[in-house]
């Protein structure tokens, strides 16, 4: 009989491609669906959030400068890594959501399929959301979708992996960088995906994942003047108040959808702007 002590993991924040503790040193306990202890996770502070925004802003130009094809390859690499750790992700989803392991495995499979789906959109967004415009003259005129910049995400609680994937992959696919607040009570599947992103060729700062208290962090994220858009999918009853905070700096706001299903391009449209380009027609 072994008398060794288990090495228990404390889940860190993912900021600028590194796994860091909160600058405050705080952490909090996460329980499983039965209320039993499951893990310790870092409790991010407002300073951690501000540093994550700085990291996201610093990475956005290089992420958008990649070709759309290369961004797709990077996101597909993330799907490969998630597939390799599918059993671990399924365990975390099952424990967090209190569902059967087979059901959890199916949910993770759907989430991985969604990563592949978004990876495939990176070089198709321009054709769907952009186009050539008719003009009266010897010119070309094109409308091109461009990222709005840094997107804050308040991830849903009820779908700890699938919902998180939809919330963060859509803005990443269109060239934005992301600061995501994981589910407060079910954060570990999101943190695992954040850990994978750090070794999936995403430049540091493209995807930043914070864990902590929603009531402390969400208002700061929505008010931050260097955040260009917020996805309030996980805001629940606070969505109205948070949207009002976001309006102070004229952010793009994506509110929760009342019906299930994101098979359309609604999320891909949410955080892009249209740039108009003119060019003379050569001889």
Segment 215-230 mean pLDDT: 95
Residue 28: phi, psi to the nearest 5? -145, 160
pLDDT-above-90 percentage for the chain: 68
Lowest mean pLDDT among 171-175, 180-184, 236-240, 270-274: 236-240
Chain centroid to CA 216: 19
Which tens digits make up the pLDDT trace of 79-95? 999 999 999 999 999 99
Going along 46-105, which residue ranges are E strands? none
The per-residue pLDDT for range 133-163, each reduced to its tens digit, is 888 888 888 888 899 999 999 998 888 899 9
Between vectors from CA 70 to CA 203 and to CA 234, what angle results, nearest 5°? 60
Range with the lowest mean pLDDT among 56-70, 84-98, 140-154, 261-275?
261-275
Q: Smallest Cα–Cα separation from 182: which of 219, 210, 224, 216? A: 210
| Domains parsed from the chain with CATH numbers | 10-280 (3.40.605.10)
Cα separation, 230 vs 223, in Å, equals 10
Pairing of strands 272-280, 177-181: unpaired
Q: What is the pLDDT of residue 85?
A: 94
37, burial (CB in 10 Å: exposed 0-12, middle 13-18, buried 19+): exposed
């Amino acid at each position: 009989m072994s008398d060794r002590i288990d090495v228990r993991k404390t889940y860190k924040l993912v900021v600028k491609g590194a796994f860091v503790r909160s600058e405050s040193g705080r952490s909090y306990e996460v329980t499983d669906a039965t209320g039993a202890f499951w893990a310790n996770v870092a409790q991010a502070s407002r300073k951690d959030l501000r540093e994550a925004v700085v990291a996201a802003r610093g990475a956005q130009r290089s992420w958008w400068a990649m070709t759309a094809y290369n961004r797709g390859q990077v996101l597909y690499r993330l799907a490969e890594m998630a597939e390799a750790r599918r059993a671990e992700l399924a365990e975390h989803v099952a424990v967090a959501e209190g569902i059967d392991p087979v059901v959890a495995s199916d949910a993770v499979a759907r989430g991985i399929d969604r990563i592949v789906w978004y990876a495939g959109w990176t070089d198709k967004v321009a054709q769907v959301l952009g186009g050539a415009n008719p003009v009266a003259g010897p010119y070309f005129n094109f409308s091109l979708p461009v990222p709005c910049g840094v997107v804050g995400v308040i991830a849903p609680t009820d779908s700890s992996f699938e919902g998180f994937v939809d919330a963060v992959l859509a803005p990443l696919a269109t060239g934005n960088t992301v600061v995501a607040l994981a589910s407060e009570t079910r954060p570990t599947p999101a943190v695992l995906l954040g850990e994978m992103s750090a070794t999936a060729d995403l430049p540091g700062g493209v995807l930043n994942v914070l864990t902590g208290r929603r009531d402390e962090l969400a208002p700061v994220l929505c008010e931050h003047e260097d955040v260009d858009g917020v996805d309030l999918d996980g805001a629940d009853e606070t969505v109205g108040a948070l949207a009002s905070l976001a309006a102070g700096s004229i952010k793009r706001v994506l509110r929760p959808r009342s019906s299930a299903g994101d098979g359309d391009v609604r999320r891909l449209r949410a955080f892009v702007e249209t740039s108009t380009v003119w060019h003379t027609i050569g001889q």
